[in-house]
Amino acid sequence: MKILVLNCGSSSVKYKLIESENGNVLAEGGVEKIGLPDSFLKFKRPDGSKETITVSMPDHKEAVKNVLKILTDPKEGVIKSFDEIHAVGHRVVHGMEKFNKSVLITPEVIGKVKECYPVAPLHNPANITGIEAITDLIPGVPQVAVFDTAFHQTMPAKAFMYALPYEDYEKYGVRRYGFHGTSHRYVSRRACEFLGVPYEQQRIITCHIGNGGSITAIKDGISVDTSMGLTPTEGLMMGTRVGDVDPGALTYLMKCEGLDADGLGNVINKKSGVLGISGISSDMRDIEDAIAAGNERAKLAMDMYEYRILKYIGAYTAVLGGADIIVFTAGVGENSPELREAVCEKLAYMGITLDKEANRSRGKEVVISGADSKVKVVVIPTDEELVIAQDTAMIVGGK
Ligand code: AMP
């Protein structure tokens, strides 16, 4: 089945056309700067060459229209008509407690995704615009929603509750939900296939370390705790997000700077993390270069970044009563041997040893722990789009 996977952000749309039976990517690309005069569509050709076309796309419907146009373009396209798209799978960021698995999109599902707007005011509305654009442009094509939060719905209350007044949970749904669920689900299962061990009998810690980052504790195939919370701002130090911070520091800062909720939101989401500490960049490649050039704030940012990862691995080892497998994934996790080495060498107390040669590789599946290591440490490139395509194919009734 040919499945169109759409990931609609507030000003962007990423797409992949995937053959669900074998995971082949037939086409991929994205639209950026939706709503701005210089919005553009970029796509990758089968031979790997890339093309960028500047087109004015005032809204998501126009963006999706251009994606469909390029997919069916006589020269650049890979399908002749929309009829060849069997179904569309959407990444939907927040499902609160309403969704614990992927679902076929119906008017009722759309209503529930809209009910989650207050906790995901940037992401869920963008996801809905993508769904509505497809409904308008390819009427009748089945659509499936795959939620970032769904995998973590198995967490016990002691892990997902915040020690705020209980009424705030009841009235507003304030609790930990966790994100990157599709990635944590994929890499944990894939790691077990790769290692040839049964998924349902492992204690796994998955480290999704990208521009956003989260760590999840998985016991016997289910998520039991995760570092992100009500929003993707909690937990690890990230590219521009603060991660864990004393809530009292935030109310103090609001008073000092005269910030309202949106002003504070801007600080903790856009101006903090690696960018905020280094003052240079949110990109770890820039930080590594700055450290090599002797920049001390870049070094502090890296030290804090690694330290926070180390603390979560320690905490989740305690939660799981030990660990069998640690997985590194996403932009930094897949591509930074330095980060992996810095973290793993401090885990020697768990009986972890590192195969330094194996750890040199970037962006491919590899065991990086030594043969004598008590815990297997692996790198598994994440593939959220493949999971979305597979869930979609399964739900619409094929393979
Ligand atoms: P993601 O959000 O998973 O796409 O990850 C993006 C981030 O991965 C970038 O912001 C970089 O910080 C990081 N990254 C990508 N390639 C490398 C690399 N070779 N070394 C270190 N960090 C990298």
Q: Which atom of ligand 1 is nearest to the CA of 330?
A: 3
Please answer whether residues 61 and 42 qualify as being in contact, where contact means their C-beta atoms are separated by less than 8 angstroms: no
Q: Do 219 and 137 belong to one domain?
A: no
Instruction: Read off the amino acid at residue 345.
Output: E
- What pLDDT shows up at residue 45? 87
Query: Is 73 among the catalytic positions?
Result: no
Counting the structural domains of the chain, the total is 2
- Distance from C-alpha of 259 to C-alpha of 262, rounded to nearest angstrom: 8
Give the residue ranges of DSSP H helices in 279-382. Answer: 284-292, 296-320, 330-335, 337-345, 356-359
Q: Which atom of ligand 1 is nearest to the CA of 209?
A: 3
Q: Determine which residue's CA is closest to atom 23 belonging to ligand 1.
A: 332
**Residue 362 lies inside a defined structural domain of this protein:** yes
- What pLDDT shows up at residue 363? 86
Assign 222 to helix, strand or coil: strand
Q: Which of 363, 372, 376 is nearest to 327 (CA)?
A: 376
Strand partners, 44: 28, 50
Q: Do 139 and 255 belong to one domain?
A: no
Best probe residue, ligand 1, of 7, 285, 380 (max atoms within 8 Å of C-beta): 285
Q: Do 141 and 234 belong to one domain?
A: no
Question: How many whole angstroms from 54 Cα to the centroid of ligand 1?
Answer: 26
Question: How many whole angstroms from 317 Cα to the centroid of ligand 1?
Answer: 26
Dihedral of CA atoms 65, 66, 71, 76 in degrees, nearest 10, equals 160
Q: Do 118 and 216 belong to one domain?
A: no
Total-model pTM: 0.96
Question: How many whole angstroms from 220 Cα to the centroid of ligand 1?
Answer: 30
Q: Do 127 and 243 belong to one domain?
A: no
- Distance from C-alpha of 84 to C-alpha of 48, rounded to nearest angstrom: 23
Q: Do 226 and 322 belong to one domain?
A: yes
Question: How many whole angstroms from 320 Cα to the centroid of ligand 1?
Answer: 28
Question: How many whole angstroms from 306 Cα to the centroid of ligand 1?
Answer: 14
User: For residue 11, what are its two tokens?
Assistant: 């000003």
- What pLDDT shows up at residue 122? 87
Please answer whether residues 228 and 215 qualify as being in contact, where contact means their C-beta atoms are separated by less than 8 angstroms: no
Q: Do 140 and 216 belong to one domain?
A: no
Q: Do 8 and 131 belong to one domain?
A: yes
- Distance from C-alpha of 291 to C-alpha of 300, rounded to nearest angstrom: 9
- What pLDDT shows up at residue 397? 87
Q: Do 297 and 365 belong to one domain?
A: yes
**Residue 142 lies inside a defined structural domain of this protein:** yes
Element (H, E) at 21: none
- What pLDDT shows up at residue 48? 87
Best probe residue, ligand 1, of 283, 289, 380 (max atoms within 8 Å of C-beta): 283
Domain around 368 = 196-384
Local confidence pLDDT in tens for the 399 residues of the chain: 999 999 999 899 999 999 999 999 999 999 999 999 999 999 998 888 999 999 999 999 999 999 999 999 999 999 999 999 999 999 999 999 999 999 999 999 999 999 999 999 989 999 999 999 999 999 999 999 999 999 999 999 999 999 999 999 999 999 999 999 999 999 999 999 999 999 999 999 999 999 999 999 999 999 999 999 999 999 999 999 999 999 999 999 999 999 999 999 999 999 999 999 999 999 999 999 999 999 999 999 999 999 999 999 999 999 999 999 999 999 999 999 999 999 999 999 999 999 999 999 998 999 999 999 999 999 999 999 999 999 999 999 855
Last residue of one domain, picked from the residues 108, 127, 147: 147
Assign 203 to helix, strand or coil: strand
Question: How many whole angstroms from 241 Cα to the centroid of ligand 1?
Answer: 15
CATH code of the domain covering residue 52: 3.30.420.40
Q: Do 136 and 211 belong to one domain?
A: no
Last residue of one domain, picked from the residues 147, 174, 207: 147
- Pocket of ligand 1, beta carbon within 6 A: 210-212, 239, 283-285, 330-332, 335-336
Q: Which atom of ligand 1 is nearest to the CA of 239?
A: 10
Radius of gyration over alpha carbons of the chain, in Å?
21
Please answer whether residues 147 and 93 qualify as being in contact, where contact means their C-beta atoms are separated by less than 8 angstroms: yes
Q: Determine which residue's CA is closest to atom 10 belonging to ligand 1.
A: 283
- What pLDDT shows up at residue 398? 59
Q: Determine which residue's CA is closest to atom 20 belonging to ligand 1.
A: 336
**Residue 165 lies inside a defined structural domain of this protein:** no
- Distance from C-alpha of 390 to C-alpha of 240, rounded to nearest angstrom: 32
Q: How far are the Cα atoms of 94, 110, 152, 394 from residue 113, in angstroms, in the given order? A: 7, 5, 17, 21
User: Which letter does DSSP use for residue 396 in this model?
Assistant: T
Q: Which atom of ligand 1 is nearest to the CA of 288?
A: 21
Distance of CA 68 to the CA centre of its chain: 25
Last residue of one domain, picked from the residues 85, 113, 147: 147
Q: Which atom of ligand 1 is nearest to the CA of 339?
A: 21
Strand partners, 32: 40
Q: Do 205 and 353 belong to one domain?
A: yes
Q: Determine which residue's CA is closest to atom 19 belonging to ligand 1.
A: 335
Q: Determine which residue's CA is closest to atom 9 belonging to ligand 1.
A: 283
In sequence order, what DSSP letters do the residues of 143-176 get, joined into one string? EEEEESSGGGGG--HHHH--SS-HHHHHHH--S-
**Residue 164 lies inside a defined structural domain of this protein:** no
Best probe residue, ligand 1, of 335, 382, 385 (max atoms within 8 Å of C-beta): 335
Question: How many whole angstroms from 178 Cα to the centroid of ligand 1?
Answer: 21
Q: Considering 148, 324, 383, 391, which one is annotated as catalytic?
A: 148
Q: How far are the Cα atoms of 191, 203, 230, 306 from residue 327, in angstroms, in the given order? A: 7, 11, 24, 15
Percent of the chain with pLDDT over 70: 99
**Angle at alpha carbon of residue 71, lines to 67 and 75, rounded to 5°:** 125
**Residue 44 lies inside a defined structural domain of this protein:** yes
